[in-house]
A = this chain, B = another copy of it.
Amino acid sequence: MFDKSTTLEQLNAVNKNTLMEQIGIEYLEVTEGYLRARMPVDNRTRQPMGLLHGGASLALAETVGSFGSALLVDLKKIDVRGAHMSANHIRSVKDGWVFAEARIMHRGRNTHVWNIDILDEEGQLVSSCRLTNFILPK
Q: Which residues of B contact A14 (CB under 8 A)?
A: 48
**Shortest Cβ distance from residue A20 to the other chain B in the assembled complex, whole angstroms:** 8
Interface residues of A (CB under 8 A from B): 14-15, 17-23, 43-48, 53-56, 58-63, 66, 81-90, 92, 105-106, 108, 110-111, 113, 125, 128, 130, 132, 134, 136
A-B complex: 8 closest residue pairs judged by Cβ atoms: A55-B59, A55-B62, A58-B58, A86-B86, A54-B82, A19-B53, A17-B43, A84-B84
Residue on B nearest A105 in the bound complex, by CB: B128
Q: Is the CB of A56 within 8 A of B59?
A: yes
Contact A90 B63 (CB under 8 A): no
Shortest Cβ distance from A52 into B: residue? B19
Find out whether the CB atom of A90 lies under 8 angstroms from the CB atom of B110: no
Indicate if the CB atoms of B106 and A83 lie closer than 8 Å: no
Q: Is the pair B18, A53 in contact by a Cβ cutoff of 8 Å?
A: yes
A88-B113, A128-B105 known; A55+B48 contact, CB < 8 A: no
